[in-house]
Amino acid sequence: MAVGQRTPDDASAPAQGWGLNTWDSPWLNFKFLLGAGIVLLILLFGLVGPFFWDTDLAYTGAGPLNKPPVWAEGGLPEHPLGTESNGRDMLAQLILATPSSLKVGFLAAIIGMGIGMALGSVAGYVGGWWDHVIRTLSDSAVTIPALVVLVVIASYVQMTDTTAMALILALFAWPGPTRLVRSQVLTLRERSYVRMAHLSGASALEIMFVEMLPNMLPWLAASLTGGISAAILGATGLEVLGLGPTRVPSLGLIINQATTNAALVRGLVWWWLPPIIILMVIFVGFFLMTIGLDEIANPRIRQFSSTRRERTAAGELPPVEPVEDGTAGEEEAALEVDDLHVHYFTPRGEVIAANGVNFSVRKGEILGLVGESGCGKTTVAMAILQVVQPPGRIVQGAVRIEERDLVSLSGRDLRRVRWRDLALVPQGAMNSLNPVTPIREQMADAILAHENIGRAELEQRILNLLNDVGLPERVIDMFPHELSGGMKQRVCIAMSIALNPQVIIADEPTSALDVVVQRVVAQTLLEVKERLGVSMVMIGHDMGLQAQLVDRIAVMYAGNLVEVAPVESAFAEPLHPYTQLLIESIPSIRERKPLNVTEGLTHDLRDPPPGCIFQFRCKHVERICRERRPELVERDDDHLVACWLYEPERHSLIELEEA
Amino acid sequence: MRGLTKEYVLQRFLMYLLTIWLGSTLIFVIPRLAPGDPVSEMVGRLSLDAGYIENADKLIASWKARFGLDAPIHVQYFRYWGNVFRLNFGYSLSHFPTEAWSMVSRALPWSLGLLTVATVLSFSIGVTVGSLMGWRRTPRWLQMILPSSLAFTAIPYFMFGIMLIYLVAFELDWLPATGAYSRRVDPGWNLPFIKNMLSHAILPVVSIVLTSMGGWALGMRGLMISVNNEDYFLLAQVKGLSPARIFFRYGVRNAILPALTALALGLGGLISGSILVEFIFAYPGTGYTLYQAIISQDYTVTQAIANLIILVTATSVFLLDLLYPFIDPRITYKRTMR
């Protein structure tokens, strides 16, 4: 089913949980359930009430006048909630009025929703002229103030019962759902599973109900509960003004009669307050349902509040365990990553996205960090930059630039190091520029955050930077949406070299671009590097591209580095079986060979196996591989690999242990 | 100038005219769909009061001629439009020598003053609260306090108003319950009057602000959370910008765009949404005037106010549409792409 689809990038985007089991279902949202419970209770009061209380007492002259509730002085047990100025029993009135107020709301919202779904799906699915007409109509209908027109209508049309009222209210309940359904259909239509269904010959109705409706459900439900409370509010407003049906009891009518009889001044609290309380409880109930449904529909909101809750529950964060600065001692290192551990704290366990990652980038070199999607390479990049997103966290390790550990820095100290020493060329250049400000401002604020320079100098510097990456000067005043993908990426490169940083992290800088533009961007990166002598970490999964760009390559698998080697020897003589697999899978024009790839991870990242991380996919696996994890060891000149294959003593090692 | 293209302005302007046309036509059509006509009904009421009226038929006919109700429907419709353009809605039926438009213009300042203050307050407080609630770097103590400001969100404003009147005006006797000013002060630009006017405005403003700011806050929170996850937000952090700059220029600046649209729609409600509050507080604004006109079946005043409200709402949306390309540079681009 479509609902279960998830991005394969499991490590960097922790499971958002469309329920693996029922107890995990997002529908079990506390706010939603509490709200639904409240509304049900109120409904029950109106439905069961008539069996326990004589509703005939709700009519004029049924009892004595203006008696307070039974607990107040002068109250009568036969009128437990008191009576009003016409001798009507308050309890009986409330029992009759509550369900009729709810009925109006439900009826109006459901009719509106029905119209909205029909119009919205036609507009979204059929498109063209229909879409234009429906969109124009619903756009201008939203602009018309509902209550005014309602009041005007109500003053001309005598509403005899609640159904008439609901029909009139429904006139204003359709534009919201129409717009919602239209935009949902438009987004869902582009999803691959809907296109698949279309190609496989499913009818429009089938696609609508089988593929689209389940995905829209939380949104529709939120719109429905919002619509119900809006309709109840509209109806009650009319009733309070005395413009609703006057012969049918309703909560608004009670308030109207109380205010017109000066119940507030006369201190007849029990007349006007109970209907207000019931209405407030109803509105609170629907409100809770609506915001609960919003959380269900929008996983981002859900994740935001749950990470906050976890953070609060865990109290203060434990300090990150520092690492002794002993082994790394490479003198010409620009960047050192030392025993880095990053975990994602998901509701279903800790995902280990980086497990003791160790590498250094030498001055002036490009280090390629490669691995398949979900291996944790982007997580490592984010950890170097100190922007691991919650619920992820660096739990151990150090990231050093010029002897300074970035992990231990925070606040102002960290901000000072950022961009000045360590810049980023982001993965999604498409969305990495602020859409509402011109390029000038976005480049300027990076510079001005770290340097104090005048206007003219600033302008000249930005123009030079644009020039450096081969962009025309007019780009400075353009907005991101006016640039092509390749131009945006070059703006990002220009921005990254603005402060002449020590290290630039390039996170798959070309992956979203077409092949020709990839060339241009890669070329730009190389030129920049040659000219400035900057060190780079180039993250990517395209082995072919890496082979041409990088000096050394680091291969990552399931959160672990498995091989680090100069690019020539890595390609000529790959040592780790996983690296061999990656290189074999580079397609070649000269020969056609079968793709020899078993897709994806074979173990759960929350619970890595003892021993080698690659054991389930490795064809050379031995006993020691299942029991002990191999260390990253230098096996050849500057060629490090974490694999037992190259340990001559491996058999004796395991026997030694047994002895 | 960047942003405003000719097609865009033209398209928005046509939309503006369409909205006004739809709304005003609705107001023209509805009374004529109802059984009976206003004049016969009024004469009927008069005869009920007086017991009997001589020549009732003639009276009806002459009044109909006077109000132009004897003409064919399309002629009436064109005349109606002519009147709408000239803001000429005829005489008020319930306050006869007064013109309908002068009744409306007398009430207008009260509504505008009350609701502008209330809307601006509730929008700015709500957007601030929501932005902070949706930002990861907000201090934890603030994150704990902020949700409490949403306490009154679910309660309809007029019910909150009734309770405020009872508690603050009657039980505690701190503030006046109803009206815009006391009879004992002279209206004018003098200190006692202004003080008196302000004390009358406090309760209605408070009841609107406390119940409506939560809506802004919740909406803004959701928008802010979305922006929090955008790539440009991350890049801003990596650039080492100050938290304040990230919050305002990258966060709020992007998240507020949809909220502004909602505000423009709400501005139309400056006049209409006030009916219930003005009714509860007997505040002499356009909403209360509309209510009284409807109760006394004063059709000309009703029409004048309803048209005014549609005009104001449509105009504020149109103005926002014109401003929008400057706030969000993408908008004309997107529109012209379609």
Please name which of A216, A159, A528 lies closest in space to residue A364, comparing C-alpha atoms.
Answer: A528
Residue pLDDT, tens place only, A617-645: 888 888 888 888 888 888 888 889 988 88
User: Comparing B204 with A24, which gets the higher pLDDT?
Assistant: B204
Test mutation, B235, B250, B334, chain A, max A CBs within 10 A: B235
Give the whole-angstrom CA distance, residue A133 versus residue A186.
16
- CB-closest option in B140, B165, B317 to A264: B165
Residue of B nearest to A265 (CA): B170
Residue pLDDT, tens place only, A545-585: 888 888 999 999 888 899 999 988 888 888 888 888 888 87
End-to-end distance of chain A based on CA atoms, in angstroms? 53
Tell me the average pLDDT across A41-54.
87
- CB-closest option in B155, B310, B328 to A144: B310
Query: In this structure, which amino acid lies at residue A202?
Result: A
Test mutation, A152, A288, A386, chain B, max B CBs within 10 A: A152
Q: Which residues contact A511 (CB under 8 A, 6 or more apart)?
A: A427, A540, A541, A542
Does B313 contact A at CB distance below 8 Å? yes
Give the whole-angstrom CA distance, residue B59 versus residue B69.
13
Residue pLDDT, tens place only, A339-350: 899 988 877 778
Burial string for A462-478 (b: 16+ CB within 10 Å, else e) reads bbebbebbebeeebbeb
In Å, what is the CA distance from A160 to each residue of A59, A86, A243, A246? Answer: 18, 22, 11, 8
Kindly state the percentage of chain A with pLDDT values over 70: 87
End-to-end distance of chain B based on CA atoms, in angstroms? 21
A 10 A CB-CB count for B314 gives: 24
**Alpha-carbon gap: A629 to the closest alpha carbon of chain B (Å):** 35
> Which tokens hold the place of A148?
């005014």
Q: What is the CA radius of gyration of chain B?
A: 25
Q: Do A436 and B330 count as a contact with CB atoms less than 8 A apart? A: yes
Is the distance from CB of A285 to CB of A38 less than 8 angstroms? Answer: yes
A 10 A CB-CB count for A516 gives: 9
**pLDDT surpasses 70 at A91:** yes
Handedness of CA A510, A516, A521, A526 (dihedral sign): positive
| Residue-level pLDDT at B51 | 66
| Residue-level pLDDT at A25 | 65
Please name which of A408, A289, A391 lies closest in space to residue A350, comparing C-alpha atoms.
Answer: A391
Give the whole-angstrom CA distance, residue B48 versus residue B56.
12
Give φ, ψ of A633 to 5 degrees. Answer: -125, 145
Is the distance from CB of B80 to CB of B28 less than 8 angstroms? Answer: yes
List of chain A residues whose C-beta atoms are within 8 Å of the C-beta of residue B291? 151, 241
Residue pLDDT, tens place only, A158-198: 677 778 888 888 888 888 888 888 888 887 777 777 777 77
Q: Do B239 and A449 count as a contact with CB atoms less than 8 A apart? A: yes
- Pairing status of strand A503-507 against strand A422-425: parallel
How high is the ipTM of this complex?
Answer: 0.80
| Residue-level pLDDT at B131 | 92
List of chain A residues whose C-beta atoms are within 8 Å of the C-beta of residue B317? 143
Q: What is the CA radius of gyration of chain A?
A: 34
Of all helices (H) and strands (E), which one includes residue A356? Answer: strand A349-362
**pLDDT surpasses 90 at A458:** yes
**Largest separation between any pair of C-alpha atoms in chain B:** 88
**Alpha-carbon gap: B198 to the closest alpha carbon of chain A (Å):** 22
Is the distance from CB of A79 to CB of A90 less than 8 angstroms? Answer: yes
Q: Do B275 and A241 count as a contact with CB atoms less than 8 A apart? A: yes
Residue pLDDT, tens place only, A304-330: 766 554 544 444 455 566 655 544 455
Give the whole-angstrom CA distance, residue B10 versus residue B233.
35
Alpha helical stretches, state H, A242-268: 251-260
| Residue-level pLDDT at A19 | 34
> Which tokens hold the place of B188?
């004018």
| Residue-level pLDDT at A22 | 39
| DSSP annotation of B243 | H
Helix (H, G, I), strand (E, B) or coil at A82: coil
> Which tokens hold the place of B31?
């009374």
CATH of A30-302, one of 3.10.20.590, 2.40.70.10, 1.10.3720.10, 1.10.10.10: 1.10.3720.10
Give the whole-angstrom CA distance, residue A258 versus residue A279.
15
> Which tokens hold the place of A628?
């002990």
Alpha helical stretches, state H, chain B: 6-33, 38-50, 56-67, 73-85, 100-133, 140-145, 157-164, 191-228, 231-238, 243-245, 253-272, 274-280, 286-295, 299-327, 330-337
Give the whole-angstrom CA distance, residue A83 versus residue A79.
7
> Which tokens hold the place of A102?
């709810």
| Residue-level pLDDT at A3 | 35
Give the whole-angstrom CA distance, residue A175 versus residue A134.
9
| DSSP annotation of B161 | H
In chain A, domain spans: 30-302, 558-586+598-659
Query: In this structure, which amino acid lies at residue B231?
Result: D
Low-confidence ranges of chain B (pLDDT < 70): 1-4, 31, 33-39, 41-43, 45-46, 48-53, 66-69, 96, 268-273, 331-338
List of chain A residues whose C-beta atoms are within 8 Å of the C-beta of residue B164? none
Q: What is the 3-state secondary structure (H, E, C) of A478-534?
A: CCHHHCCHHHHHHHHHHHHCCCCCCEEEEECCCCCCCHHHHHHHHHHHHHHHHHHCC
Please name which of A350, A376, A342 lies closest in space to residue A10, comparing C-alpha atoms.
Answer: A376
Query: In this structure, which amino acid lies at residue A589?
Result: I
User: Comparing A358 with A595, which gets the higher pLDDT?
Assistant: A358
A 10 A CB-CB count for A426 gives: 25
- Give how far the C-alpha of residue A417 lies from the chain's centroid of Cα atoms, to the nearest Å: 29
Q: pLDDT band for A589, please (50, 70, 90 cuts).
A: low
Q: A349 - beta bridge partners? A: A346
A 10 A CB-CB count for A134 gives: 21
Residue of B nearest to A233 (CA): B156
**pLDDT surpasses 70 at A141:** yes
Helix axes B286-295, B100-133, angle to 10 degrees: 130
- Average pLDDT of chain A is 81
Give the whole-angstrom CA distance, residue A62 versus residue A90.
11
> Which tokens hold the place of A614?
């690659």
Burial of B11 per CB tally in 10 Å (0-12, 13-18, 19+): middle
Give the whole-angstrom CA distance, residue A118 versus residue A123.
9
Q: Do B18 and A387 count as a contact with CB atoms less than 8 A apart? A: no
Residue of B nearest to A256 (CA): B280
Give the whole-angstrom CA distance, residue A411 versus residue A401.
17
| Residue-level pLDDT at A8 | 35
Give the whole-angstrom CA distance, residue A641 versus residue A560.
11
Residue pLDDT, tens place only, A212-269: 777 788 888 888 988 898 889 888 888 888 888 877 888 888 998 888 888 888 888 8
**pLDDT surpasses 90 at A462:** yes
Helix axes A128-143, A175-189, angle to 10 degrees: 140
Residues 431-490 of A with CB under 8 A from B: 431-438, 445-446, 449-450, 479, 481-482
| Residue-level pLDDT at A14 | 35
| Residue-level pLDDT at A6 | 33
In this predicted structure, which of A128-142, A333-347, A400-414 has the lowest mean pLDDT? A128-142
Does A420 contact B at CB distance below 8 Å? yes
| Residue-level pLDDT at A135 | 82
Give the whole-angstrom CA distance, residue A33 versus residue A216.
19
> Which tokens hold the place of B20?
């006004």
